[in-house]
Structure 1
Amino acid sequence: MQRRFTQLDSVWPAPLPRRLGAMIYDGLLVTAIWMAVTILHLLVMRYGVGVTAEQIGATSGQVFMLRVLLVLSATAFFVFFWVRGGMTLGMQAWRLRVQTSEGNSISVKQALIRCLVAWVSLAAFGLGYWWVLFDGERRSWPDIVSGTRTVVLPKPTK
């Protein structure tokens, strides 16, 4: 169920430096998640499946499975936070929020599309994010394709 956000009149499109700052912060969090997923994968392979230590990661199937787990864990992280409140932890630090054009929280479908296009944007040497510099509304490829907006929130009043 989508919820309506507040402060809609006092938000503005997020510039590239803020987005990059939040991405770096979230990148550190995703790295920690990936470390935990990798450790769990190693433990399951070693003690659950019974693969010897020398054979872990020796087959393409094991490598593929770990890569899928890493992509799914990062996707789950972003989808959970974007749908829940429009912000990841890095976005909270930089006062950014993802929302629909109407100011609502985004759906799971929008979050999944946004995540898929984010992977493509990064694979294209970040071009999807550099696009913010050329778009009149400061939208990145994930914003455009998913029908969302990334906005800056005003500083909280004391």
Structure 2
Amino acid sequence: MTIENEALPSLKRRMAAFVYEGVVLFGVVFATAFLFGILTQQRHALHGQHSLQAVLFIVLGIYFGWFWTRGGQTVAMKAWHIRLVDLQGQPLNRMRALARYCLSWLWFAPALLSVWLLELRNTGAMFSTLIAGVAAYALLSRLHPSGQFLHDVICGTQLITQKPIKR
């Protein structure tokens, strides 16, 4: 099947893919946490909490790295016809995918830091801070001439629209 690259995806489409990715990742995180609990015989959610977080960080890194280096599209990106490439339009190598994965945590870092510094314990306040942080990060893309996210600019990657050609 021949693929045709078109215009850059809109912020609205990229955010829709972001939300869809969250739904997919819910299953990945759930399965990983379930296996972690069984393998470590975890009896309480707070025991081994930091180990689980480290395992989830690695598993999510493997998930994104695998898809980004093999076709440039996760499940959600395929559904929204978005593809990740380098600035020359080529697939990502492992190091660039790893750098992008690590820097993509910039989506959440300011909000998580704010929650920690303000010592927020209220779930609603934490959730609101996280949503505001993600929205602010997304809106920052409006400052870039081609609308790319900060982590893509730093890593030398870009999101492009890729739709199948009609037969």
TM-score, normalized by the shorter chain, greater than 0.5 = yes
Residue type matched to 1:33 in 2?
V
1:137 Cα deviation after fit: 1.0
**In structure 1, distance between residues paired with 2:158 and 2:33:** 33
Q: Is the CA contact 2:106–2:151 (under 8 Å) kept in the aligned structure 1? A: no
Structure 2 segments unaligned to the other structure (5+ residues): 111-132
Structure 2 residue 86 is the aligned partner of structure 1 residue 105: no
Structure 2 residue 123 is the aligned partner of structure 1 residue 123: no
Question: RMSD between aligned alpha carbons?
Answer: 1.9
Q: Which residue of 2 aligns with 1:14?
A: 9
Q: Which residue of 2 aligns with 1:43?
A: 38
Q: Is the CA contact 1:128–1:142 (under 8 Å) kept in the aligned structure 2? A: no
Q: Which residue of 2 aligns with 1:134?
A: 143
In the TM superposition, 1:70-89 aligns within 5 A as 70-89=56-75
Which has the higher mean CA deviation after the structures are superposed, 98-107 or 120-129?
Answer: 120-129
1:72 Cα deviation after fit: 1.3
SS at 2:158 equivalent: strand
Structure 2 residue 26 is the aligned partner of structure 1 residue 31: yes
**In structure 2, distance between residues paired with 1:129 and 1:78:** 19
Structure 2 residue 82 is the aligned partner of structure 1 residue 96: yes
In the TM superposition, 1:135-154 aligns within 5 A as 135-154=144-163
Give me the identity figure in percent.
21
Cα offsets for 1:109-148 (capped at 9, x unmatched): 1111111111122333124332222211111012101101
Structure 2 residue 166 is the aligned partner of structure 1 residue 157: yes
**In structure 1, distance between residues paired with 2:93 and 2:140:** 23
Q: Structure 1 residues 6, 154: closer, same or farther in 2, change over 3 A?
A: closer
Q: Is the CA contact 1:118–1:128 (under 8 Å) kept in the aligned structure 2? A: no
SS at 2:159 equivalent: strand
**In structure 2, distance between residues paired with 1:39 and 1:141:** 33
**In structure 2, distance between residues paired with 1:58 and 1:33:** 20
Structure 1 segments unaligned to the other structure (5+ residues): none
Q: Is the CA contact 2:3–2:163 (under 8 Å) kept in the aligned structure 1? A: no
Flag as ranges the 4+ runs of structure 1 deviating above 3 A. 56-59
**In structure 2, distance between residues paired with 1:97 and 1:110:** 15
- The count of aligned residue pairs is 143
**In structure 2, distance between residues paired with 1:67 and 1:16:** 29
